[in-house]
A and B are shown apart, each in its own frame.
Chain A
Amino acid sequence: MPNEAQVIPLHTAKRPRPATNGTNGTNGSGGSGGSERALAPVRKVRPRAGAAKKPESRGLLADAAGFLRRRLAGDYDVDEFGFDPDLTDNVLLPPLRLLYDKWFRVEVAGVENLPAEGGALVVSNHSGTLPIDSVMTAIAVHDNHPEHRYLRMLGADLVFQIPVLGELARKTGQTLACTEDAERLLSAGELVGVWPEGFKGIGKPFRDRYKLQRFGRGGFVSAALRTGVPIIPCSIVGAEEIYPKIANLGPVARLLGLPYFPVTPTFPLLGPLGAVPLPTKWRIEFGEPIRTDDYPAAAADDPMLTFNITDQVRETIQQTLYRMLARRRSVFFG
């Protein structure tokens, strides 16, 4: 018999970071210090023990010890998709945030178009040979949204087959791009990100940059229609030039079971150095939401309507891209 049947909720909308480790209660004089650390922004936390041994980073060390204790005791929450906010916030996001802030210097516009709460589907253009654009979009949403919402991304099945990558994808809140998962996330009121161009978009040759490819079969539109959530078009400029794919080694790709094997000016010529992306200047713009809740209930089963909305979303993103490109003066300085 259980002593107390405590129900652990599957979907807590926002999990506040445990800011201090109970020092306020045990040590009266440390109260002010504790609350000060509680207000410190999330990005300042460096959880890796030993990463900072300087005396001024003791608070971070205590936080790191707390994190280590939680991990070793298995004392954290994971949702049914495998999303682990504790690990995402403390270990996975900080290094990516460096890339976001310092390398690509991402500028974000239109955050007000993301809803404060409830489900929404962010649809974006895909590019860059490696799916760095999706990770950057997730950081753009999380860091700029007033509620610091997580973008739950839908990934290709290849991602979940690859060891480590598949695991990290699940831990950061991604899941398989299938109707079941998309609708489940949307009806749970999550912000879902989808890149409907798929491999056709991300693996297109450099000469086709900023030309949107076909938007899959429009499955994302039916998912939005079925759950009645708005579609938010998202346009990303800068990701196309990070790994200019000038050729594709088809036989090697087939041998490795990959959709393409890119040749860029630096890869495979410079070996691992070729994995360093070019430091382009990025702009991410979230467009006006396209409502789907005023269609009749059977709309999701109307292929013509689905195709029309798919085209509308695609055109919106393409036009926004052209507008953003016209304003851009330099690939590297914006």
Chain B
Amino acid sequence: MPKVVLVTGAGGNIGGGLVTRLAADPAYDRVIGVDTATPPKRVLNALGRAEFVRADIRNPLIAKVISAAEVDTVVHAATTAHPAGPSRRTVIKEMNVIGTMQLLAACQRSPTVRKLVVKSSAAVYGSSSRSPAVFTEDDAPRGLAAGGYAKDAVEVEGYVRGFARRRPDVQVSTARLANLIGPDVDTVMSRYFALPVVPTVFGYDARMQLLHLEDALALMERLVKHDLPGTVNVAGDGVLTLWQAIHRAGRIPLPLPGFSVPTAANVVGASRRVDFSPDQVKFLNFGRVLDTTRLKSEFGFTPRWTTRQAFDDYLAGSGIRSLVPVGRIAGLERVLARAVGSRSS
């Protein structure tokens, strides 16, 4: 039986990268990337022998693509829980929820589909003061912002669970990815830390975990190639606090009362570049840390980049220059220490 993989969201960070990686593996007879818009030339060229199909997963047409190509593995990477910039809520919600429903409906009808790999998000856990410090895969969502993108992610996972119940013969893997970052990734976090003055929520310092795009791709590839059913948290080891990250990037933090962050971001023009939806503000408020024990023990995957290394790699790769003269303080420190040293000798 030929091995055929279909990847939705092929124009995105995860989808596009995954198509390229799978196309490089001769074990797969066909690799099909699907997206609503044709990706840029640069991405298309990188696809190699993979095929690109311009199709909308919100449309029943996707079922024809699956049945005609006799797809046996479907990777659903078209959902968005963290839009990078301001975006139209209804469009993204349609894509997330209706797209997932249509795709799963098509998979349920297909006699050839054997495996479903879903890119989910750690946003399903929400962010709140009442959450445990570290989320395991069994924790239920708490403190979700009403009508936010995180709610979509929870709904998407609900549909996936329903599908898994109805088609127990299909192996389902769900990866809850932490916020992505990397030198050439366009995500909400990479845009946020590139702002010269970074709006934060006054009186709070969120604990953040980041995931390097390369690690995210390596894990998704592993889920496609190996039989690893279940839900898994994916995040780089270690924690950075929001302020720590802002300082590492050499940006200037601007603490604002939580409710005023979106408005203030609007005033300084930051909201034209960065998404400041309620979910995102809650994340900046309380943050989120994932337990990755299952990822390491059961899924046999340890991210190569820790959170801090991933962030530093992003800083180095995107050419962000520090606005704070840390070097001068280090010099002052040396002078002061030397003064004491010479005095005591």
Contacts and interface: CB of A to CB of B under 8 A. Distances in A.
B339 interface: yes
A283 B116 CA distance: 62
Given A8-B237, A58-B340, A163-B204, A176 B306 contact: no
B136 A180 contact: yes
B244 A27 contact: no
A22 B341 CA distance: 11
A33 B306 contact: no
Given A61-B336, A163-B202, A184 B133 contact: yes
Interface string A2-37: 100111101000000000111100110110111011
B304 A2 contact: yes
Contacts of A157: 129-130
A117 interface: no
B345 A32 contact: yes
Contact of B129 (A61, A72, A79, A160): A160
Interface string B303-318: 0111011000100000
Contact of B329 (A34, A65, A181): A65
A170 interface: yes
Nearest to B328: A69
B41 interface: no
Contacts of B289: 80
Contact of B341 (A29, A66, A82): A29
Given A30-B345, A170-B205, A178 B132 contact: yes
Interface string B188-225: 00000000000001111101000000100000000000
Nearest to B257: A163
A322 interface: no
Given A62-B333, A81-B133, A176-B130, A27 B341 contact: yes
21 contacts: A1-B214, A2-B309, A5-B306, A7-B237, A10-B238, A20-B337, A22-B334, A23-B334, A32-B344, A58-B343, A62-B339, A68-B329, A71-B247, A74-B240, A78-B239, A78-B244, A80-B239, A82-B241, A163-B258, A166-B203, A176-B130
Interface of B: 129-134, 136, 139, 201-205, 207, 214, 237-241, 243-249, 258, 289, 304-306, 308-309, 313, 324, 326, 329-330, 332-334, 336-345
Given A36-B344, A78-B244, 20 more contacts: A1-B214, A5-B304, A5-B305, A6-B306, A10-B238, A22-B337, A30-B345, A58-B336, A58-B340, A62-B333, A69-B333, A72-B326, A74-B244, A78-B207, A81-B134, A157-B129, A160-B130, A163-B201, A167-B204, A181-B134
